[in-house]
A and B are shown apart, each in its own frame.
Chain A
Amino acid sequence: MKKNNLKSWLYLLPALLFLGAFMLYPLIDVFIYSFEEGYNSASQTSFGIGIYNYEYVLHDPYFLQALQNTFLLVIITVPLSTILALVISLGLSSIKKVRSLYQTVYFLPYVTNTLAVGLVFMILFKKTAYSDGLVNVLINLFGGSSVDFIDGPYWAKMFVLCFYTIWIVLPFKILILTSALASVNETYYKAARIDGTSKARIFFRITLPMISPMIFYLVITGFIGAFKAYSDSVALFGTDLNAAGMNTLVGYIYDMLYGDSGGYPSYAAAAAIILFVIVLTITVLNLLISKKKVHY
C-alpha cells in the first residue's frame, strides 16, 4: 500500500510541479505583495507590512469605477446572453433546412479577433465629425436624436460594452446549448405529447431541467469570464480606460502594473486579491445553488 502511494505521487509529480510553479506560487506571492507597502519589484524592497494597499485601492475612485463597471457587466451580460443563447438554440433545433448555415453564422463571432470585432462596433456606434455611425442613422430614422456611444454618456457606453460582450460570448453558449438540446432523448417529448403536455410545460418541466447542468456550467463560466473582462473594453474605448470611465477590474490591475500610472505592484496585487475573492465567492455560491437546483 505504501509503495503504491509513493508510486502515485511520483506519477502526479510533473503536474504538481507545474501547478505549484505557475499557479500556487504566484498566488501566494501576490497575496504577500498585497500586504507589502510600496513594494518595488526592481529592488525587491518594501516599506513595511500592513493593509495599507487594500485601504488605498478601496478608496481609489478609479478602482470603485472599475468595480461598478465590472459588476454591471456581469449582472447584465451573463443572464441576458444565456437566455438569448437558449432562445436561439431552441430556434436552431426546431428548424431543419438551413440549420448548419445558421450554426456557422452564429459561430463566426467566436472565431473573429476581438479587436476586429471592436473595430466593427466602432464603425457602427462611433460618432465622428463626418458621420454619426450606422446605429445613430437608424435612431434618427425612427425619430430619435443621435447619441455618442463611444465618447458620450455613461449609460450609452455601458450599453455598447454589454452589447459587445453578449455578442462575443453568444456563439460558445449557443454551441453548448444546441448540443445539450440535441442530447435530450426524443422519447421524453413523445411521452409528453401522448399525455397532452403543452409546449410551455414541456419546456419548463422537461427540457429545462434536462439541460440545467449545461446552463449552470455556462452561468458559472460566464460569471468568471465577465469578472475577468478587459479586452472588450479596450477594443471599444482604447487603452486609457480610466479617462473613459470604462475600466474593469482586470484593466485596473493592468494599469497599476504597466499603465501610465503604472509601477504600483502592491496596489495591483491587492486589487487582484480582491477580484480573486469576489470570483471565488460567486463561484462557490453558484455551485451551492446548482447542487440544489440542478438534477442528476
Chain B
Amino acid sequence: MKIVLKNLTKKFPNRSKKGDDVIAVNDFDFEIPDGKLIGLLGPSGCGKSTCLNLISGLETPTSGKIFFDDEDVTDLPPEKRGVGLVFQNYALYPHLTVRKNIMFPLENFKGDKKLDKKQMEEKALEAAKLVQIEALLDRKPSELSGGQQQRVAIARALVKMPRVLLLDEPLSNLDARLRLQTREEIRRIQRETGITTVFVTHDQEEAMSISDMIVVMKDGVIQQIDKPQAMYDDPKNLFTAKFLGTPAINVFSGSIMHGQVCVGEDPIMPIKHVENRKVYAAIRPEGFVPRERGKLKCELVGVEVMGRDTSIISRHSAFLGESNIRSIVSSDRLPDLTGKEVRFNVKPNKLFIFDCETEERIYFDTDTFRLPKEPPEEDGTDDEEDTETDIEEEGVTNEEE
C-alpha cells in the first residue's frame, strides 16, 4: 500500500510563550510507493520522528493530509489506520512473556475481528517464526538480549498484519555487530512480508544500506528524496552532501575564477559556463587521485593503511572541516608519500560545488570530458567506481599534456 503525504505540516507551540511556533514538519509532500522500505534520515531534532508519529496517528497534523492508497486517514485514530510501530526502546511489556507480548495487539480486536485464544496463539507463533524467535516465546523480555527484544517488538508490530510498518530508530540501542545483523534482518522481513515500511534513523550508513529510498530532512524541511546511491552521487545541496558518506565529504571554501574551480588559491579543475563567484567546493574522499604534479597541494599529515585502500590525511588552508582532509585511494598505485607535501588531482564526478549563500548545488560541465549519465546501480558500486577512475584519469593526464 502506498502512503501519500500532502502538504503535511506539524507545528508545536513554543515553550516560552513569546517565541514562534516550532515547525517540526514543514510542508511535506511526497509519496511512498507500495511495498518499499523508506528511510527518513536526518540529525536529531529534524522532525523525522514527528513525521513517523504523524503517519502512525499518534500526532495530528497542523495542516495537510495523509493518504493510505486513496483512503484519507488524516483524522483516523492510530488503531483504525492499521499501522505497526516499533520503538527505539522496544516498549515490550516487562511483566508479560514474549508470547503474551506478541498476542497483546490481537486481544484488542473487537466485533467480527475478535479471535479465540487458539487463533491468537497461532498468529503469534507465525509472527515469531517470521522473526525467528519461536524458541523464546515463554521468556520474559528481561531475559532476552537487545537484538532478541527488537525482534519481539517487530513481531508484535507485525502480528496484526499492519498495512504499514513504522520503525523509530530501531537499531539505535544495539551494539555495532547486532546492528549490522538486525538491519539485514529488517530488510529480509520487509521483503518477505512486502509491507510498506518507513524507518527513522540518524545513521546515514544504516539508511543507505537497507532503504529503497531515502528522505533527508533538516529542521523540518525535506532536503532531498532519492535512491541511496543516487543521493550519494548527486546531492542537491551542501547539507545532503555532508550528511551522506563515511568518511564525510571534504568541504573547502573556494571560488570560480576564470573558468576554473579554485580551492583556496589552487585552481583544480577547469569548468564551463559558470561565472566568477565564491563557492563551497566539496570533494568525496574517494575523489582524490594522488599525483606528483597534481593540482591540489596539501600538507601531508599521515597515511593510514587499511589493506585494500589507503587513507591519506592531509591539511589545506582552505579546508573547512573540523579535523583534516581524509582521502581514500587505492593501495595499488600509491605515489611516494614520504615528503611534506602531497598533491592530488580531483575526479570531476566526485567534486561538487555549492553556492556560498543558499548552499544549493551549482551544476557544471567540465572542460575535459563529460560524465556518462548512467543510472546508478544499487549493488556493485565498487566495480563501477573503479572503471570511472580509469576513464577520468586519462582525461586528467590528457589535459596536462
Residues in A lying within 8 Å of B, measured CB to CB: 185, 187-188, 190-198, 201, 205-206, 209-210, 212, 295-296
Contacts and interface: CB of A to CB of B under 8 A. Distances in A.
Contacts of B69: none
Interface string B62-86: 0000000000000001111001110
Interface of B: 56-58, 77-80, 83-85, 87, 89, 91, 93-95, 104-105, 107-108, 142, 156, 160
Q: Name A's interface SS.
A: helix
A198 B87 contact: no
A194 B85 contact: yes
A187 B89 contact: yes
Given A209-B95, A295-B94, A295-B95, A191 B108 contact: no
B95 A190 contact: no
Contacts of A185: 89, 91
Contacts of A194: 56-58, 78-79, 83-85
B160 A195 contact: yes
Nearest to A189: B91
Contacts of A191: 85, 87, 91, 156
Given A185-B89, A188-B91, A206-B93, A193 B78 contact: yes
28 contacts: A185-B91, A188-B91, A188-B93, A190-B91, A193-B58, A193-B77, A193-B79, A194-B56, A194-B57, A194-B58, A194-B78, A194-B84, A194-B85, A195-B79, A195-B104, A195-B105, A195-B160, A196-B78, A196-B79, A196-B105, A197-B79, A198-B108, A201-B107, A206-B93, A209-B93, A295-B95, A296-B94, A296-B95
Contacts of B57: 194
A36 to B, nearest CB: 51
Given A187-B91, A191-B91, A196-B77, 12 more contacts: A193-B79, A194-B56, A194-B57, A195-B104, A195-B105, A195-B108, A195-B160, A197-B79, A197-B104, A201-B108, A212-B95, A295-B94
| Residue from B83, B91, B105, B156 having most chain A Cβ neighbours under 10 A | B91
Contacts of A197: 79, 104, 108
Nearest to A195: B105
B85 A196 contact: no
A210 to B, nearest CB: 7
A201 B80 CA distance: 17
A191 B104 CA distance: 10
Contacts of A190: 58, 85, 87, 91
A193 B80 CA distance: 10
A196 B160 CA distance: 11
A210 B79 contact: no
A187 B56 CA distance: 13
Given A196-B79, A196-B80, A198-B108, A210 B95 contact: yes
Contacts of A193: 58, 77-79
B56 to A, nearest CB: 6
A187 B93 CA distance: 10
Contacts of A209: 93, 95
A25 B94 CA distance: 43
Contacts of B80: 196
Contacts of A205: 93, 104
A188 B93 CA distance: 7
Contacts of B108: 195-198, 201
A96 to B, nearest CB: 13
Nearest to B105: A195
A193 B76 CA distance: 12
B115 to A, nearest CB: 14
Contacts of B84: 194
Of the candidates A191, A194, A295, the one having the most CB atoms from chain B within 10 angstroms of its own CB is A194
B291 to A, nearest CB: 54
A194 B142 CA distance: 23
A188 B58 CA distance: 13
A248 to B, nearest CB: 37
A210 B95 CA distance: 8
